[in-house]
Amino acid sequence: MFRKVVLFLYILISLMANCSRFFIFAGFEFNKEYIASNLCINRNRPEMHCDGKCYLMKKIKQAEENEKKEAARNNLSLLEVSFYQEPFSFSFHDPFTLNIGNHSFPAYAYLYTSHYIRNIFRPPRPFV
């Protein structure tokens, strides 16, 4: 039961976010008389036949501005930061040779060198 209620609320919120202009227009149509008599800027001038359309336009413009702000906020969250590292080559013949060429991004250069000493560490020899 709880899942169904949460799912219904999630669907309702998703629809409200995607269909905000529809809900603004539907709210205007349902409350047209109240908006025309109380919220309209031109309610004292009936010859203009505004009937609350100024209020509707103001709300639609406000919704568009909110959508633009949300789009700008979403674009910032999509900003990618790339990590770049040049490939390096390693030779098993001479462990002190590490080929580090010209890097186009020196801050990401892989400058690790091994302190492997060849004279001390030798692999074990088989008994023959």
Residue 120 carries which side chain, given as an amino acid letter? I
Kindly state whether residue 117 falls inside one of the protein's structural domains. Answer: no
State the residue range of the domain holding 60. 2-77
| Residues 64-91 pLDDT 10s | 898 888 877 777 666 666 666 667 666 6
Report the number of distinct structural domains present in the chain: 1
Kindly state whether residue 126 falls inside one of the protein's structural domains. Answer: no
The answer to whether the beta carbons of residues 60 and 21 sit under 8 Å apart is yes
| Of 117, 119, 113, the residue nearest 98 (C-alpha) | 113
Kindly state whether residue 101 falls inside one of the protein's structural domains. Answer: no
| Residues 16-65 pLDDT 10s | 777 778 888 889 999 999 988 888 888 888 888 888 889 999 999 998 89
Burial classification of residue 68, based on how many CB atoms lie within 10 Å of its CB (0-12 exposed, 13-18 middle, 19 or more buried): exposed
Kindly state whether residue 89 falls inside one of the protein's structural domains. Answer: no
Kindly state whether residue 69 falls inside one of the protein's structural domains. Answer: yes
